[in-house]
Amino acid sequence: MSTLQEKLTQLQQKGSQDIKAASDLKQLNDIRVKLLGKKGPITEVLRGMRDLTKEERPAVGSFANKVRDALAEVVDQKKAELEQAKIEQQLATETIDVTLPGDQPKIGAHHVISQVIEQLEDTFLGMGFKVVYGYEVEEEKYNFEMLNMPKDHPARDMQDTFYITKDVLMRTHMSPDEARELEKHDFSQGPLKMVSPGRVYRRDTDDATHSHQFFQMEGQYIGKNVTMADLKGTLEFAIRQIFGEEREIRFRPSYFPFTEPSVEVDISCFKCNGKGCDVCKHTGWIEVLGAGMTHPNVLKAAGVDPEIYGGFAFGLGIDRFAMLKYGIDDIRNFYQNDVRFLTQFEKRG
Ligand code: FA5
């Protein structure tokens, strides 16, 4: 073996050792450049071939190429090894513990009043009523005039009103939607069956069962041959849907300008079960809704012939319904937005 070949053999041994000892990719690259680059020892050996005889040259040349290829292969192997180690290290340090509990965002829930509105809507939709939504700021004409309460009618005092202008007011009840729907309805297409939930305003003094703003749902069924028995059956069904069969109800004769005859419906007090307490003002009953057979003047005002069509209407207090259903003894809880109260009714979906 020539001296050059010996030198190459040493280079290969030393080079392999250095390559295998590299601790990272950068170091490996530095070794590769130093060993196999243009200024490296192998190139230098090849340059030294000039001094060899013609006969010696091919053997040394091919030996040098073999050494270079062998070292390049060791570099490749080491490179693959280091890359794999890097990935493994990354995987080990960047693991995510999927079992750790996440940050729970606080999700809101429907207000208890909204929940009762939804239950009522579902109940009436099930009986073939449609749901409509009117205007909180209403014309005096719809709130009173078309409901058989002309100007200076004493019944207007029954609902103490927030006026915005002489003709515009905060609606005091949901009955204006009756007039609006009657005006629009095409009776050749069948009877009018509607409910309308919403917020109403009155200059009432706040106490445990009264608020100056509260919720009502209006209902109306106008068609041919609609009787008081239909009214009673509809209300009884709806009340039992919401409160269960055990709650007692009673109908009392009453007066509303827009119905004749008129009734008021009471439910046995949720707190004392009818014995008498501060919530029911010692009567055992809580008034929850007013109703009656629609007055012919209301039909006439909306252009509906009372000789052909007739029916019933009712207006229920949604807050009172919610109080009865959940045993809440003060209506003001609904409007104070105390989360300790509100979260008791968290029901999603
Ligand atoms: C009316 O508002 C009529 N428009 C209802 C009606 C419609 C009768 C259709 C006939 C035909 P009333 O003022 O009684 O009626 O109110 C109806 C219900 O709203 C009451 O039974 C009560 O449950 C509730 N309510 C009345 N005032 C308040 C108040 N200040 N706070 C909370 N709920 C109230």
| Other residues' Cβ atoms within 10 Å of the Cβ of residue 166 | 7
Angle at 268 between CA 126 and CA 226, to 5 degrees: 40
- Tens of pLDDT along 55-84? 888 888 888 888 888 888 989 999 999 899
* Structural domain contains residue 230: yes
Domain CATH number, residue 177: 3.30.930.10
* Structural domain contains residue 189: yes
CA–CA separation, 168 vs 114, rounded Å? 27
Residues 86 and 136 in one domain: no
Residue 288's closest CA among 237, 239, 330, 332?
239
Structural domain count, the chain: 2
- Pocket probe for ligand 1: among 158, 295, 320, 328, the residue whose CB has the most ligand atoms within 8 Å is 320
32 C-beta closer than 6 A to ligand 1 = no
Of 65, 93, 121, the one marking the end of a domain is 93
Query: Phi/psi zone of residue 103: left (φ > 0), alpha (ψ -120 to 50 degrees), beta?
Result: beta
Residues 170 and 310 in one domain: yes
Q: Domain of 46?
A: 3-93
DSSP 204-216: PPP-SS--SEEEE
* Structural domain contains residue 205: yes
* Structural domain contains residue 106: no
| Cα 170 → chain centroid | 29
Residue 333's closest CA among 111, 172, 148?
111
175 C-beta closer than 6 A to ligand 1 = yes
* Ligand 1 atom with least separation from CA of 264: 21
Residues 194 and 77 in one domain: no
248 is in an annotated binding site: no
* Structural domain contains residue 254: yes
CA–CA separation, 171 vs 142, rounded Å? 9
* Structural domain contains residue 331: yes
Per-residue pLDDT of the chain (349 residues; tens, 9 = 90+): 677 788 888 888 988 898 998 888 899 899 888 888 888 888 887 787 788 788 888 888 888 888 888 888 989 999 999 899 889 888 888 888 889 888 888 888 899 999 999 999 999 999 999 999 999 999 999 999 999 998 888 778 777 899 999 999 999 999 999 999 999 999 999 999 999 999 999 998 999 989 999 999 999 999 999 999 999 999 989 988 888 777 778 889 999 999 999 999 988 876 787 888 887 889 988 888 999 999 999 999 999 999 999 999 999 999 989 988 888 989 999 999 998 999 888 875 4
Buried b (16+ CB within 10 A) or exposed e, 86-119: eeeeeeeeeeeeeeeeeeeeeeeebebbebbbeb
Of 58, 93, 128, the one marking the end of a domain is 93
